[in-house]
Every structure is written in C-alpha cells, then in structure tokens.
Amino acid sequence: MSAAAIAALVVTGVLVAALAFFLIWVVLILRRLTDTLGKVVFGVASIAHRVQPVEQLVGEINADLVGVADALEALAADLDPQRASRAS
C-alpha cells in the first residue's frame, strides 16, 4: 500500500471521528434542551392552572365596578347638572 493511500485512510478516519464527535455533542445538547423545555412547559402549565380562577374573579369585580361607576356618574350629575350635560 502506498503512502498516499495510507494518508487518505488516516484523513478519512480523522474526518469520520470528528463527525462522530460533533454528532454526539449535538445529541447531548439536544437532550439538555429537551429537558429544559420540559421544565419550562411544566412551569407554564402550572402558572396557567394557578391563574385560572382569577379570570372569573376579575369578571365579577368588573361587574361590581360598573355599578359603582354608574352610581358615581349619577352622583356627579346630581351635584353639577351643567357639568354632566357637557360630559355626555
């Protein structure tokens, strides 16, 4: 076997080893990324579960505040009829 053939085999072996190392490194990075993304998804789901009751409470508070706003507007109209007519 000539020196050129041996050199070609050595270079090919080095390239295959480098590609194998790179692919293994990418697999390890992707596994870490998958683990991190799983934790993020779990955290987001937990937050969504904890704030789910807030939506109903906010609706109730908003309904109560609409009544308060209406009462304040009626009070303002009683106190200053000219100002109420200008505001509407």
What are 61-82's pLDDT values in tens digits?
A: 988 899 899 989 888 888 876 6
Structural domain harbouring 32: 3-87
pLDDT at 81: 66
Domains held by the chain: number: 1
pLDDT at 38: 94
How far out from the chain centre does Cα 27 lie? 25
In this prediction, what percent of the chain has a pLDDT beyond 90?
Answer: 56
Mean pLDDT of 26-55: 91
Distance CA 16, CA 36 (A): 30
pLDDT at 87: 57
pTM above 0.95, yes or no: no
- Answer for the pair 84, 77: CB distance below 8 angstroms, yes or no: yes
- Answer for the pair 76, 84: CB distance below 8 angstroms, yes or no: yes
pLDDT at 75: 87
